[in-house]
Structure 1
Amino acid sequence: MEGLFNILRVLHIIGGFTALLVFWIPIVTKKGGKIHRRVGWIYVGGMIAVSISAFYMGFYRIFTTEVDDIGMYSFSWFLIFISILSGASAYYGLRVLKQKKRISRHQNVLDLSFSILLILSGVGIGIYGWTIDVALITWFPLLGIVLGSVQLAYWLRKPSKKMHWFFEHISGMLACCIATITAFLVFGGPRLLNIEGDSILLWFLPTILLTPVIIGYSVYYNKKFAGKLRKQNKAI
């Protein structure tokens, strides 16, 4: 099992650095264009590798770590939560594209399960963090609870906007980017950049920076699509 752990650790590092290097390209390139789609798939591939490997490594560490090693236990549980957050967000960002033509409430069990898993893992990890008095594990999972709730609400209601899937795709993938950067800052940043890793601001910096980007995209494209719709109505 240790051999598989070492293989997945290498896969995790490769996938993580790949995602970290290319995540910004789909953000700044033309939406739906060739570069956006091709690099987007590279990013998703990297995040799939990160999510699966992190999930396994987290549980491996939990079952192979000494009981009194609270630091490794908490690290492992947070690693598992990040894997769920990144995996569920990337999955959501892809699935909303596949379901762009839906006109009623969504009932796909797997799609709903990912959102529910994100909510439940956020609650569970948050409670664990509170019991061991670790701020990162207590408060950061709130992001998963919020995102999972938003995703679940989207699936369970009838679409009210013509381009609803477009906005959900952007928010889902940017949420995945938040997980990518946060994981780097929490796990890799302190070692590679020689910075303190226990700053709450550091943990929430990706959320603080990318949330306005999500809002900005929503406002911009709402105006853009509304303008196109007005032009089409006038033409008719």
Structure 2
Amino acid sequence: MEKALIISHVVAGSATLLSGLLAAFLGKKGGWWHRLSGRVFYWSMFWVFISAILLISFVRFSAFLMVIAVFSWYMTFSGVRVLMLRKTLQPLFIDWLAACLTMAFGLFSMGLGLYYQWQYEWASVLGYLCLFFGFFTMQTGWLNFNGFRTVHKAEKMWWWFAHMNSMCGALIASITAFLVQNGRAFDLPSSMSWVPWVFPAMVGLPLVSYWANKYRKKFRVGKYAVGNN
């Protein structure tokens, strides 16, 4: 049972990685291919999350797996939910609950990170991971929670950018998990062991920023709004 669970987790993780890259870089956004690869990404990420919780609960505890799984899943969940909210502009109970639980988990992860740092005198890589992802998990939950309260005042195409940021954030986290878990295959010296942790964000975040600016210009929102020209 343990072996089957681990294999299914790895297969789902690989499917998540591949479908996420395909959705990001191939096909027209909102087109048939984008929607298909997006569905594969969503359900693969769902099983990554479920299998991670099962592994943590019944096989062995892993703070790394827990933090990455929760962060990635909430980003994916909120990225899909926002496509529903753009039509109704009415958050459901599940949206509020998920945001609150995510904020609470972010705080818990930060506390866990501080504990690891206290244990290892601020030399714990895992501690930094918990602090880093814990902060952004909490921040993501809070931004969504606050956004639910002001959704009726949101700028034009707000849902597009919320969807893009959430799904890209989940993809970056997935790539990070893949590189960290397979770090030995790259045969990096100990002095560069930090590279897999930060490389996806160093490359991905500027790309997301570039795309966001490109679409803001296309949709004429923010600094590109007609009234700001």
Deviates more, 1:98-107 or 1:210-219: 98-107
CA contact (8 A) 2:83 2:163 kept: yes
1:107-153 Cα deviation digits (max 9, x unpaired): 64323234324422431332233133353222223234224314422
1:154 to 136, 144, 148: 144
Please say if residues 116 and 126 of structure 2, whose CA atoms lie closer than 8 Å, have aligned partners that are also in contact: yes
- Could you tell me which amino acid in structure 1 is paired with residue 162 of structure 2? E
- Percent identity between the two aligned chains: 26
Q: Structure 1 counterpart of 2:128, which letter?
A: W
Shift of 1:40: 1.0
Q: How high is the TM-score relative to the length of structure 2?
A: 0.81
In the alignment, the residues of structure 1 paired with residue 100 and residue 157 of structure 2 have an alpha-carbon distance, to the nearest angstrom, of: 24
Partner of 1:206: 200
Q: Deviations over 1:19-65 (max 9, x none)?
A: 22222111123111100000111112221111111122123344xxx
Question: What is the correspondence of 1:98-113 to structure 2 with a 5 Å cutoff?
Answer: 98-101=84-87, 103=89, 108-113=95-100
Return 81-90 or 97-106, whichever deviates more: 97-106
What 5-or-longer segments of structure 1 have no aligned partner?
63-72, 231-236
Match of 1:124 in 2: 111
Q: Mark the CA change 1:135 to 1:211 in structure 2 (over 3 Å): closer, same or farther.
A: farther
Local SS of the residue matching 2:182: helix
- Partners of 1:213 and 1:53 in 2: CA distance: 30
Which amino acid letter does the alignment assign opposite residue 106 of structure 2? Answer: I
Distance change (3 Å), C-alpha of 1:105 and 1:88: closer
Q: What is the Cα deviation at residue 167 of structure 1?
A: 0.5
For CA contacts below 8 A with separation 6 or more, give which structure has more relative contact order.
Answer: 2
Alpha-carbon distance in 1 for matches of 2:128, 2:77: 23
- Using the size of structure 1 for normalisation, the TM-score is 0.79
Contact 1:25/1:39, CA 8 A, preserved across alignment: yes
Structural RMSD (CA)? 2.6
- Cα 1:182–1:126 change in 2 (3 A) is same
Q: Aligned AA for 2:68?
A: I
Counterpart-to-counterpart distance in 2, 1:225 and 1:211: 21
Name the SS of the counterpart of 1:100 in structure 2.
Answer: helix
Distance 1:169 1:182 in 2: 20
- The equivalent residue for 1:70 is none
Residue 22 of structure 1 is matched in structure 2 by 19
Give the secondary structure class of the aligned counterpart of 2:156: coil
Query: Number of matched residues?
Result: 214
2:161–2:212: 8 Å Cα contact kept in structure 1? yes
